[in-house]
Amino acid sequence: MRKGFTLIELLVVIAIIAVLAAILFPVFSRAREKARATACLNNVRQITAAIAMYVQDHQQAFFPDAQTRAWSMALAPYNEPSIYDCPTTSVIGKSAAPDYGFNQNAYGKSIADAKKPAITILVADLVQKNPPANYAFTDPDAHLDGRHAKGANFGFVDGHVEYASFVVGEVEAATAAITARAWSLNIEGRGIFQVEKTETFFDKSASYMEDILTTPVLEPTGWEIAFYRKALDKSGANYEGPTVEADFPYTAPAQSGVTFTAFRTEQSGCQNNNADGSNRRWVRDAFGFPVCKSYFGGAIYAGTFGNNVWLDKYFTSPSYAVRLSAPGLYRVCIIGTYHWSNGPANLKASIAMVPKDKTPTKSGYKAEASFTLPDGGNYRDFVCMYTYADQDFDIYIKDAGVDHSYGKAGFSVFAVCMQRIDVIE
């Protein structure tokens, strides 16, 4: 008759328990967090309802910015302080110090200003360490907290609520979640660093370049700021500006408080064109720089050229840097052209616009549009990408051409047009 377990049997049982614990404890932990995230989402729903009641009682307008105290203090008559406490955080949230942030851009605005209430963010999970004094958010990546499985809960102007993961592809950022879902932080519902629309104009002749000044589409009217290829100066006698690689990067004179910087010029001149340099001065790019008539791609393109093959990847530095002297909301139109003489048909090309010092592969905010350009070069194909920006930004381009003659790109930025449409206070 056995009186007990052997040591080996006990060890086996302990090992089995340990394995089961390792499997089940994370499951239990995720289940608990899921429950906390659901409770948090319900808090956000109640907060948006309280804001709606406040708006109804105050001439259809959101509360003003209290600056030195939490936004939630304005809602005291409409809810209980407990709804400002997210169960996931270690600190108890309350009216004077909520676990949730309010959209800074909505302060004092009328509900009628919200043109797209279903996509305009009003409330979201706020960081707990060093929050802004008014507990509002302006920079999603700095102020929003991905405390729920690397994501956050959001409440919108129309009252509905949603959870969104911050992980989008290789990027983990609040801006990535917002951009991927085409949500908006400005009350007008315009998507910052999101593509509003694209346009294409195919099969234009080489001589089309000389008629560009009279083309309404490529010299848009009504834009406050517009840099485009506009000077057909064959002699270049009156030109003052960079002419060689050593002159770059070069910053053009400011227009309405906006400055543009180019990072590249022709790496080896225009050996294939006129020896007297006349072809070099045939056109000027969006900054007024002199560039080759047929091979001006290198003038503004920073690509991944190597062994005479383009790798269809964005370079590590931008082609253009655009800097704003004052905060504001701008509509932006970036126009690209396929200019490689004798280039292949169906060239694939892309334009990307990202915040200052970001890259297309590392930024949550990114307006990106890709095109297939059916015709060979010599300015036959033009494309346009429209978007919005409220901060400094950089422009990147790439194409998938192979065996580019003279090591130049087949696709480059033809013009950058901007219009200030709202001042951010």
Residue 265 has pLDDT above 70, yes or no: no
pLDDT at 382: 78
pLDDT at 174: 94
- Of the given ranges (114-118, 242-246, 292-296), which has the lowest mean pLDDT? 292-296
> Using omega within 30 degrees of 0 as the cis cutoff, is the peptide bond preceding 318 cis?
no
C-alpha to C-alpha distance for 307 and 312, rounded to whole angstroms:
14
Residue 45 has pLDDT above 90, yes or no: yes
Residue 119 has pLDDT above 80, yes or no: yes
Residue 28 has pLDDT above 70, yes or no: no
Which of the two residues, 367 and 302, has the higher pLDDT score? 367
Which of the two residues, 217 and 46, has the higher pLDDT score? 46
pLDDT at 228: 53
C-alpha to C-alpha distance for 277 and 127, rounded to whole angstroms:
58
pLDDT in tens, 309-347: 445 677 667 878 899 887 788 889 888 877 665 666 777
Report DSSP letters for 176-228, one per residue.
HHHHHTT-BSSTT---BTS--EEEEE----GGGGGGGGG-TTTS-TT-SEEEE
Tell me the three state secondary structure of residue 126: strand
Mean pLDDT value of segment 91-105: 94
Residue 88 has pLDDT above 60, yes or no: yes
Tell me the three state secondary structure of residue 156: strand
pLDDT at 31: 64
Which of the two residues, 229 and 155, has the higher pLDDT score? 155
pLDDT at 335: 81
Report DSSP letters for 384-417, one per residue.
EEEEEESS-EEEEEEE--BS-GGG--SEEEEEEE
Q: Which helix (H) or strand (E) holds 57?
A: helix 7-57
Indicate the DSSP class of residue 93.
P
Mean pLDDT value of segment 36-40: 93
pLDDT in tens, 192-216: 898 988 988 776 554 444 444 344 4
Pairing of strands 136-137, 100-103: parallel
Mean pLDDT of the chain: 76
Give the pair of three-digit tokens for residue 251: 């910053």
Rg (CA), the chain: 28
C-alpha to C-alpha distance for 227 and 60, rounded to whole angstroms:
41
pLDDT at 71: 96
pLDDT in tens, 246-259: 556 767 777 788 88
- Of the given ranges (31-45, 92-106, 223-237, 273-287), which has the lowest mean pLDDT? 273-287
Share of the chain above pLDDT 70, in %: 67
Mean pLDDT value of segment 366-382: 77
- With a CB cutoff of 8 Å and minimum separation 6, the contacts of 399 are 303, 310, 312, 347, 348, 349, 350, 409, 410, 411
Q: Tell me if the pTM is above 0.95.
A: no
C-alpha to C-alpha distance for 331 and 328, rounded to whole angstroms:
10
For the stretch 69-77, contacts whose Cβ atoms lie closer than 8 Å and that sit 24 or more positions apart, written own/partner, are 69/96, 69/133, 69/134, 70/95, 70/96, 70/97, 70/98, 70/134, 70/135, 71/98, 71/102, 71/107, 71/134, 71/135, 71/136, 72/47, 72/96, 72/98, 72/100, 72/102, 72/135, 75/47, 75/50, 75/51
The confidence band for 238, taking pLDDT boundaries of 50, 70 and 90, is very low
pLDDT in tens, 126-147: 998 889 999 999 999 999 999 9
Any idea where the domains of the chain sit in the sequence?
Answer: 7-180, 197-422
pLDDT in tens, 162-177: 999 999 888 899 999 9
Count CB neighbours of 238 within 10 A: 8
Indicate the DSSP class of residue 58.
T
pLDDT at 380: 62
Judge residue 381's burial from the number of C-beta atoms within 10 Å of its C-beta, 0-12 exposed, 13-18 middle, 19 or more buried.
buried
pLDDT at 121: 96
Which of the two residues, 86 and 180, has the higher pLDDT score? 86
Report DSSP letters for 322-378, one per residue.
EEESS--EEEEEEEEEE--TTPPSSEEEEEEEEETT--TTT-SS-EEEEEEE-S-SS
Q: Which helix (H) or strand (E) holds 60?
A: none
C-alpha to C-alpha distance for 19 and 14, rounded to whole angstroms:
9
The confidence band for 42, taking pLDDT boundaries of 50, 70 and 90, is very high
Give the pair of three-digit tokens for residue 264: 């590249």
Residue 182 has pLDDT above 80, yes or no: yes
The confidence band for 3, taking pLDDT boundaries of 50, 70 and 90, is low
